């Protein structure tokens, strides 16, 4: 009841005219407070109603865009409101087209593209970005271009188009160099650069970018600092640098951000070092949300899983020339389809010299014949000696 009374009091204050700068600041603060109150009351629909029904024309376009963006940010703090945010953005875009508010429309479209990225609808996000980039280029708005290129890089990365993701990131850096770039935006650029370098398996360079972004986020007390720290740990795990992993976990930053996320990374590292696929799989199941919920970590952990699967498969089949698939599945505690698929890949990649006997449901391994270069080298010696004798014979004829 008290919360509702506060909201009504704030709404009543919006009827006061806003002709001076001081009154505009007060109104801006009222909108901010309203958004916070509705979030505490778990009523995000009310924020949507304010954005769509209230008149923001008393503010200039930049200020109006800032207020609306901050209100949507407040909705983002409420769990499971992504679809509501998308609806808010789509309604606002229609309103902006109707009222011819181009700048605000572009800001909301960038936000919508970011929301589609968060729910992994990358193609939809790219369609929005491609539709506005030419207009923003004509306006030569470097700040908007920077945001567009950055989200475009993330969307291309989501579609596994690494070349275009790097090109978009380079374009965003070029924009950042020509304007004043806030620390949070610079941290976003560094974070994306780290993600791309990690995808290329250059973990040393990726770590340096993640560290830069972590320092900036941590100074701003941004929640993204935890993600940067997780990616730093990921780089050390992928490069098999055990000492640095424990230093990060036991250092001041590791202690500050200690929780289930860092515990997940620690467990992944420990299980990977033991080279036991069964234990590694249990860790992935236990920390499913922390690992599979992050697309960057999910991709690299899958690489570790594949490496462990190969190593454990080799250990099981190595003593045999013929082994039942059912025996391999029992030993590794995996389903037959996964085992057969992996064995097929290893045979095609020529990592295993053998074949799958589907009729008897077994793997037949061939004896590996080592290539002996003795005869090849002997033939080469004879050919060279023959050439020497021929030259000596020619010289003997000339001496006569």
The C-alpha atoms of residue 151 and residue 156 are separated, in whole angstroms, by: 9
| DSSP conformation class of 294 | S
- Phi-psi sector, 100: left (phi>0), alpha (psi -120 to 50), beta: left
Contact 304, 268 (CB under 8 A): yes
Question: 267 is written with which tokens?
Answer: 């467990």
- Mind spelling out the 3-state secondary structure of 216-243? HHHHHCCCHHHHHHHHHHHHHHHCCCHH
Query: Token match 């030419």: residue?
Result: 134
pLDDT at 342: 85
The C-alpha atoms of residue 118 and residue 246 are separated, in whole angstroms, by: 31
| pLDDT above 70: residue 106 | yes
Q: Which helix (H) or strand (E) holds 323?
A: strand 322-324
| pLDDT above 60: residue 41 | yes
Q: Write down how long the chain is.
A: 400
% of the chain at pLDDT higher than 70: 96
pLDDT at 371: 60
Flag whether the pTM goes above 0.85: no
Please write the tens of the pLDDT for every residue from 239-278: 888 888 888 888 888 888 888 888 888 888 888 888 888 8
Tell me the β-bridge partners of 357.
362
pLDDT at 16: 67
The C-alpha atoms of residue 113 and residue 91 are separated, in whole angstroms, by: 14
Please write the tens of the pLDDT for every residue from 177-188: 988 888 999 999
The C-alpha atoms of residue 296 and residue 292 are separated, in whole angstroms, by: 9
Question: 312 is written with which tokens?
Answer: 């454990």
Q: Could you tell me the pLDDT band of residue 214, with boundaries at 50, 70 and 90?
A: very high
Please write the tens of the pLDDT for every residue from 140-183: 888 899 999 999 999 999 998 999 999 999 999 999 998 888 89
pLDDT at 1: 45
Torsion of CA 218, 221, 226, 229, to 10 degrees: 0
pLDDT at 369: 55
- Mean pLDDT taken over the chain: 85
Please write the tens of the pLDDT for every residue from 71-98: 887 887 777 888 888 888 888 888 788 8
| DSSP conformation class of 78 | S
Averaged pLDDT for residues 116-140: 89
């Amino acid at each position: 009841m008290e919360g509702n009374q506060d909201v009504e009091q704030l709404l009543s204050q919006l009827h006061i005219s806003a002709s001076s700068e001081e009154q505009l600041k007060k109104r801006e603060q009222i909108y901010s407070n309203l958004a916070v109150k509705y979030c505490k009351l778990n009523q995000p629909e009310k924020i949507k109603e304010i954005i769509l029904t209230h008149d923001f024309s008393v503010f200039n376009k930049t200020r109006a865009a800032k207020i609306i963006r901050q209100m949507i940010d407040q909705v983002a703090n409420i769990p499971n409101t992504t679809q509501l945010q998308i609806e808010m953005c789509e309604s606002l875009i229609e309103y902006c087209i109707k009222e011819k508010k181009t700048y605000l429309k572009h800001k909301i479209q960038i936000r919508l593209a970011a929301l589609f990225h968060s729910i992994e609808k990358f193609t939809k996000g790219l369609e929005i970005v491609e539709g506005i980039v030419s207009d923003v280029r004509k306006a030569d708005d470097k700040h908007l271009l920077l945001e567009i290129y950055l989200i475009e890089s993330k969307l291309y990365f989501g579609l596994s188009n690494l070349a275009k993701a790097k090109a978009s990131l380079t374009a965003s850096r070029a924009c950042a160099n020509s304007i004043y770039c806030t620390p949070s935006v610079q941290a976003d650029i560094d974070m994306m650069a780290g993600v791309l370098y990690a995808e290329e398996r250059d973990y040393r360079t990726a770590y340096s970018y993640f560290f830069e972004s972590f320092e900036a986020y941590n100074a701003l007390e941004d929640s993204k600092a935890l993600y940067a720290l997780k990616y730093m740990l990921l780089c050390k795990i992928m490069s098999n640098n055990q000492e640095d992993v424990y230093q990060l976990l036991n250092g001041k930053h590791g202690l500050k951000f200690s929780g289930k996320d860092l515990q997940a990374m620690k467990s992944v590292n420990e299980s990977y070092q033991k080279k036991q696929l069964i234990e590694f799989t249990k860790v992935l199941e236990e920390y499913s949300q922390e690992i599979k919920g992050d697309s960057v970590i999910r991709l690299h952990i899958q690489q570790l899983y594949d490496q462990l699967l190969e190593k454990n498969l080799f250990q099981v089949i190595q003593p045999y020339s013929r082994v039942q698939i059912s025996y391999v599945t029992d030993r590794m505690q995996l389903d037959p389809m996964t085992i057969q698929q992996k064995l097929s890949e290893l045979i095609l990649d020529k990592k295993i010299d053998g074949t799958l006997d589907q009729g008897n449901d077994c793997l037949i391994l061939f004896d590996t014949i080592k290539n002996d270069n003795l005869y090849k080298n002997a033939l080469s010696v004879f050919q060279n000696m023959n050439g020497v004798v021929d030259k000596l014979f020619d010289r003997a004829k000339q001496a006569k």
